[in-house]
Amino acid sequence: MASGRKSIVIACAVLQEEIELIKPLASRIIYLPQSLHRTPQVLATNVQKEMDALEPGSADTVLMAYGLCSNGIVGIKATRGEIIIPRVHDCIGIFLGSFQRYLEEQKKSPGTYYLTPGWIRECKDPLGILEEYRSYLSGEDAEWCIRQELKNYKRIALIHIGNTISESTRMRARENARYFGMSYEEIRGSDRLLRKFFRMERTDEFVIVPPGESIEPEPFMSQ
């Protein structure tokens, strides 16, 4: 961690297990629901609300454990010190340990639907989303919607870091693959990027937003 700098973490709940394994030296960690990713237009509003609610002077740096997330974080203003964010398009790059590793996986198998223990825990895997659709659509319509969303995917890949995977998680991931007719693979992730993030390293793997400025999409695209 940068010497003497106070930090607060605002993170997507999908990363909670991996963050708790690292035990970052932050004065506070705030987890927001993973479901906000289904409505990117309100993600920024919710993150901004949490940031603005922080006590003035409580942090020099707000560590936002998010990616660009379909532009869901664009417009968030650094009202409580600077903001540091991993320079990734979504959380998959965080789980894999680098944006470069993400690009390599995409090149190797572009039709991959990635899962993590957190995605399964939050019921945001395809089977969980199917159940959500069934709560307000007919069974046939719900099935059609999810299969349309998945029509370009050929592989389910479960990313795990360290010992964060359990047998129930593995079984659920396999069931997703079986139900939707995809191949199944397990990929070893890495906490490399998260550890650098919590040490507040000043490298090009992170976007740094000075106090008073807002998050823009361009820095995430210049990779």
Question: How far apart, in whole angstroms, are the C-alpha atoms of residue 166 and residue 175?
Answer: 14
* Spatial separation of the C-alpha atoms in residues 121 and 14, rounded to whole Å: 8
> CA triplet 42, 191, 158: central angle to 5 degrees?
70
pLDDT at 72 > cutoff 50: yes
Gap between the Cα atoms of 149 and 3, Å rounded:
46
Question: Comparing C-alpha atoms, which of 37, 15, 33 is closest to residue 24?
Answer: 15
Residues 127 and 53 both lie in one domain: no
One domain for residues 166 and 198 = no
Residue 202, domain member (yes or no): yes
CA separation (Å) from 220 to 65, 73, 174? Answer: 14, 11, 33
User: Is the domain of 20 the same as that of 46?
Assistant: yes
> CA-to-CA distance for 69 and 193, rounded, in angstroms?
17
Q: pTM for the complete prediction?
A: 0.90
Residues 199 and 184 in one domain: no
Q: Are residues 181 and 133 in the same domain?
A: yes
Q: What is the mean pLDDT of the chain?
A: 92
| 78 close to 63: Cβ distance less than 8 angstroms | no
* Type of residue at 92: I
Q: How many folded domains does the chain comprise?
A: 2
CA distances to 183, 199, 212 from 178, rounded to whole Å, are: 8, 40, 49
Confidence of residue 200 (pLDDT cuts 50, 70, 90): very high
How much is the pLDDT for 23? 87
Same domain, 158 and 181: yes
Q: Are residues 140 and 112 in the same domain?
A: yes
**Domain match, 150 and 172 both:** yes
Label residue 223 by pLDDT band (50, 70, 90). Answer: low
**Position 164 confidence tier, pLDDT thresholds 50, 70, 90:** low
Domain contains 148: yes
Establish if 85 belongs to a structural domain: yes
Full domain range(s) for residue 54: 7-89+191-221
Same domain assignment for residues 74 and 149: no
Residues 168 and 200 occupy one common structural domain: no
Q: Are residues 83 and 160 in the same domain?
A: no
Instruction: Determine, yes or no, domain membership for 1.
Output: no
